[in-house]
Amino acid sequence: MSVLDDIKELIDSAQKILIVTHENPDGDAIGSSLGFMHGLRKLEKDVTVFIPYINKMYNFLPGSDEIRHELSDDEKFDLCIALDSSDIERLGEGKKWFDKADKTIVIDHHITNQNYGDANYVNAVACSTCQNIIVVLASLEVAINKVMGTCIYAGMLTDTGGFRYNVQSETFEFVSMLLEAGIEIAPIYRNLFDLTTEARTRLLGRALERLEVLEDGKITYTYVTKADEAEFNCEDGDYENIVNYGRNIEGVEVSIFFREIEEGKIKVSLRANDYVDVSLIASKYAGGGHLRAAGFSISGSMEQSKNIVIDEIKKQLQ
């Protein structure tokens, strides 16, 4: 018996199904949850998606208004399915429900997956969990329609950075199937990559105005304060992506973005292009991240934080 057969059996013998995913859910987490929800409903299953918080940029996805943000303690599920989460801890609030369910399934594409379900379909070659959902739905003999396809495409598009990273020829074969199902790619792209708000655009403008270039154009930095965010009525997350504008400047190796979280506390985001390991300085300040993308918080004023971080980066450039 293959894992796909096990999954089919678990789903066939369940009626009330709960889908959960990782904390701070991204497009793949939300897209795979909704895509699978729509698919399982074709099998007459009673399906609930539980995600405590989702960013409103995903509200265009069909079924997003049905996502439950809370569950009451007396609810019971025959089967809990965890999507796009490499381990049980990452499920956050969903962990409790995963633990409580009679049976469990894990579907994921992280190579580090802990196989913590009764059945685990983990294909790390896939660009996204959404791509794996296509395979699972096929094995359940559910034909993908436009509604499922839209959710699934959203996850494939975002997890590949717009089909830039982690893409194989088969990725486009799967996309071709979604196009056959009738998805419209332009509105999905616009919602996920282009659409913004006035507050976000104004905060970006403020940051770009302040952008400084140092060390023969190899370092750029900029910053925003709490007062800036208040002035433009920003929502949490409106500062995201500002750091990439500096990184995209020709000749820049490291882009630094400083954000005042509260008086005396600064959040630092770092992006490198080719050779500086920004995770080194992040780990020095108890932050986290990868070689070319990292972040941490630092105590002190904006001026002090800038001096400390820029000095560290300058040293690394030598």
Which two three-digit tokens encode residue 108? 């994921």
Contacts to Mn ion by CB under 5 A = 28, 84, 128-129, 159
Cβ proximity to Mn ion, 28 vs 260, nearer residue: 28
- Minimal distance, residue 179 CB to Mn ion, in Å: 21
Cβ proximity to Mn ion, 43 vs 167, nearer residue: 167
Residue nearest to Mn ion (CB): 28
Cβ proximity to Mn ion, 133 vs 266, nearer residue: 133
- Minimal distance, residue 187 CB to Mn ion, in Å: 22
Whether residue 261 contacts residue 249, with contact meaning beta carbons closer than 8 Å, is answered with no
CB atoms within 10 A of CB 88: 16
Integer-rounded Cα radius of gyration of the chain: 22
- Minimal distance, residue 28 CB to Mn ion, in Å: 3
- Minimal distance, residue 109 CB to Mn ion, in Å: 6
Whether residue 309 contacts residue 230, with contact meaning beta carbons closer than 8 Å, is answered with no
Cβ proximity to Mn ion, 22 vs 103, nearer residue: 22
Exposed (0-12), middle (13-18) or buried (19+): which is 165, by Cβ within 10 Å?
exposed
- Minimal distance, residue 162 CB to Mn ion, in Å: 15
The sheet carrying 288-289 orders its strands as 212-214, 219-224, 254-262, 265-272, 293-299, 288-289
DSSP per-residue codes, 221-253: EEEE-HHHHHHTTPPTTTTTTHHHHHHTSTT--
Cβ proximity to Mn ion, 25 vs 63, nearer residue: 25
User: For residue 185, what is the DSSP state?
Assistant: H
- Minimal distance, residue 214 CB to Mn ion, in Å: 36
Task: List the end-to-end C-alpha distance of the chain, in Å, as a whole number.
Answer: 57
CB atoms within 10 A of CB 50: 21
Cβ proximity to Mn ion, 159 vs 238, nearer residue: 159
- Minimal distance, residue 24 CB to Mn ion, in Å: 12
CA distances 266 to 163, 213, 318, Å, are 33, 20, 26
Cβ proximity to Mn ion, 111 vs 208, nearer residue: 111
E strand residue ranges, the chain = 16-21, 46-50, 79-83, 103-108, 119-122, 212-214, 219-224, 254-262, 265-272, 288-289, 293-299
